[in-house]
Amino acid sequence: MPRGACFADLEEARLELAEYLDLYYNTQRLHSALGYCTPLEIELHYRFNLP
C-alpha cells in the first residue's frame, strides 16, 4: 500500500488495508517483539504446538 494513497471511499480503503495486512504485514514482515518472526509463524507455532 503506497504511502499517502488516496481512496475513492471508505470501503476501498478497508479492502486495501485488509489486503496489506493479509499479504505483507502478517506473513512477511519480521517483528522484533516476536523474536524476529512473522505473526503468521507465531500463530502457526502456537496453533500446532499447544498441548
Q: Are the C-beta atoms of residues 14 and 7 closer than 8 Å to each other?
A: no
**45 in any annotated domain:** yes
**38 in any annotated domain:** yes
**21 in any annotated domain:** yes
Query: 3-state DSSP call for residue 18?
Result: helix
Is pLDDT above 70 for 41? yes
Q: Which among 10, 40, 43 has a CA at the least distance from the CA of 28?
A: 40
**2 in any annotated domain:** no
Is pLDDT above 90 for 14? yes
Is pLDDT above 90 for 25? no
| Domain ranges, residue 26 | 12-49
**3 in any annotated domain:** no
Based on the structure, what is the number of domains in the chain? 1
**6 in any annotated domain:** no
Angstrom distance (rounded) from CA 5 to CA 44: 32
Is pLDDT above 90 for 34? yes
Look-up of cell digits 518472526: 37
Q: Which among 46, 51, 29 has a CA at the least distance from the CA of 38?
A: 29
